[in-house]
Structure 1
Amino acid sequence: MANNINVKRNKKFSKDQWTAFAFLIPSFLLILLFVYGFIGWTAYVSVSNWNSLVPDFSFAGLENYKYLFNDFRFQADLRNTLFFTILFIGSVIAMGMGLAILIDQKLKGESFYRNIFLFPMALSFVVTGVVWQWLLHPSTGFNQFLSVFGIQPKWYTDTSILGGFEWGSIQFGLPVAMIAVVIAAVWQMTGFSLAMYLAGLRGIPDELREAARMDGASEFQIYRKVVLPMLMPITISVIIIMAHISLKIFDLIYAMTGSGANFVTDVPAMYMFETTFRGHYYANGAAIAIIMLLLVAIFIVPYLWNSRKGDN
């Protein structure tokens, strides 16, 4: 009798599995076509000779990639992306964590401050770019106040490179104009980091802090040796998400600065857009897209792999 009941349960479970699988098939096929299919198509175009309005799928090998890595503009894009990513991620983590720790001190009007810092996330990067373009314009915004003290920064119009040295065809160093873009991006995304860290802080039991205090630890030691290590998973998550945003940033740059003089604020996504849709160099544009995909994968794939191993 018990065996018959188990057989019936197994059959029912198997039927439920097939039903669930049937519901997932359309989504699976759409993802296979519109995500992985288009990635494969982009990779195929990137090794072709299709660099005009007339399709040409003859095999070009890695010539499009060689052209990009020898191109002045693409080298500048990689430099700009590197420094933007470092400054952006570092600033978002530092400010988000600092504000979260401050709000976690049971401040009066906590919800008010939290909403203020989260508000920029409700805006698109296009709106942020337009607003900060005016605020950091050399003749308007902050400069009208700074001019009283005889200070007139060029902000995103500055073409100088800090600590620059010859690297390929470019000056490798921090483009000063990129600092203005980082300010705008950090202003918008710090709220996300704040929310993540604040949730992490609220999830740490008070007993751990009290035990550390009873052992004679100062507040600084409590945060350094107890709180911050427990926030490490959140820090890694913030790094991954912010890296993903910074490596494919387009709308903020497009609305705020464009490519900039001497390409000091240019990024691969801008180059890909102009190359593909304005210059009609489709193979070159596809090669840029594949390189961007690989750059994002460098951050995402190890994170997903470690998460999967941790779940097992």
Structure 2
Amino acid sequence: MPRNLRRWGPPLLMISPSLILLAVFVYGLLAVNAHTSTTDMNTAAQATGVKPTSFVGFDNYTKLLSSPDFQHSLKNLVIYTVVFLVGTMLFGFLWAWLLDRPVRFEGVFRSIYLFPMAVSFVASGVVWRWLLNSNQGESASGLNRLFQMIGLDFLQNNWWNNVNYGIAAIAIPAIWQLSGYVMALFLAGFRGIPEELREASQIDGATTWQMYRHVIFPQLSPVALSAVIIVGHMSLKAFDLIMSISKPANYQTKVPAVDMYVLKSSFHYADAAAVGVILLVIVAVLIIPYLVHISRAEKRA
């Protein structure tokens, strides 16, 4: 038996079931989806096999990317991602910074900040649908009613029903739910910085702010990058929260993931598959550079 086979044979045999499942149910299905996106399987008759499908190349992608509706979905996705990413990073970092300093009842605050993570997007979406109710005046409810009660009527608006920034309103519950996770990442980064660095900066006469600005914050760059990648790719795949708050196929809040669901429900399988491939490419553009950066960092280490 060859030496390399004796060395690598048993480990490969042990992980072969996982490799087979991964190849079939992940990469295999990705390949099937990509193939479907290049066909004309876009009617109920074709879906049931009455009419054979044919290869159309990139026609489905051209049709989607030139469609004003899909362009609106992409614009909504950009708005949602930017608001969601900025909000979670800002609040998560702020909470971690506050907890890194001596504070009483730190465990209680950590639990409060992390609690929203235990709630599913669907459950929180049902509650936030009421909070972001667009009714104003005598029939106001949710946040609009609160603003009315405290004399801030000018803050009342139609939230997710607004065509221009409705998707940004849906990012509010997403920020509420994921800020605690980002806080945990940053807090772990704060606690992982050697105490010797803090002591050395204090010996050199640095103030608390100077210590954080020139010593602590630069050490958090890898954590910040990881948080951006994780939150960013989660925002790109947003679906359940949006569908829980707004009505299905609502123009104001639709994103590519919602388009894919609607197209699939109406038997436009090829178009839905094309949307899936476009989302995969967008996520890959975000993830692959991060993986390359991590791989190079590990080699340098």
1: CA distance between counterparts of 2:183 and 2:200?
A: 26
CA contact (8 A) 2:100 2:190 kept: yes
Shift of 1:15: 4.4
Matched, 1:294 2:295: no
Shift of 1:203: 1.0
CA contact (8 A) 1:120 1:191 kept: yes
Aligned residues: 285
CA contact (8 A) 2:249 2:259 kept: no
Match among 179, 198, 207 for residue 196 of structure 2: 207
Match among 180, 203, 215 for residue 191 of structure 1: 180
2: CA distance between counterparts of 1:14 and 1:58?
A: 44
The letter for the 2-side match of 1:285 is A
1: CA distance between counterparts of 2:9 and 2:249?
A: 55
The letter for the 1-side match of 2:72 is A
User: What corresponds to 2:141 in structure 1?
Assistant: 140
CA contact (8 A) 1:85 1:243 kept: yes
2: CA distance between counterparts of 1:153 and 1:108?
A: 38
CA contact (8 A) 1:136 1:155 kept: yes
- Answer with 284-293 or 196-205: which moved more: 196-205
The letter for the 2-side match of 1:135 is L
Q: What's the CA shift string for 1:243-272, capped at 9, x where partnerless? A: 1100110000000113575x2211100000
Q: What's the CA shift string for 1:24-43, capped at 9, x where partnerless? A: 11110110011011111111
Q: 1:25-64 counterparts in 2 under 5 A?
A: 25-53=16-44, 54-55=46-47, 56-64=52-60
Shift of 1:14: 6.2
Would you identify which runs of 4 or more consecutive aligned residues in structure 1 move more than 6 Å?
Answer: none
User: What corresponds to 1:88 in structure 2?
Assistant: 84
- Answer with 104-113 or 288-297: which moved more: 104-113
Shift of 1:94: 1.0
Give unpaired runs (5+ residues) of structure 1.
1-9, 162-175
2: CA distance between counterparts of 1:286 and 1:240?
A: 24
For the residue of structure 2 that corresponds to 1:60, the secondary structure is coil
TM-score with structure 2 setting the length: 0.90
2: CA distance between counterparts of 1:36 and 1:57?
A: 23
The letter for the 2-side match of 1:62 is F
Indicate the percent of aligned positions where both proteins have the same amino acid.
37
CA contact (8 A) 2:40 2:55 kept: yes
The letter for the 2-side match of 1:192 is Y
TM-score with structure 1 setting the length: 0.87
For the residue of structure 2 that corresponds to 1:264, the secondary structure is helix
Shift of 1:309: 2.1
Shift of 1:222: 1.7
The letter for the 2-side match of 1:204 is I
1: CA distance between counterparts of 2:268 and 2:131?
A: 35
The letter for the 1-side match of 2:131 is L
Give unpaired runs (5+ residues) of structure 2.
135-139
CA contact (8 A) 1:258 1:266 kept: no
Match among 220, 233, 255 for residue 222 of structure 2: 233
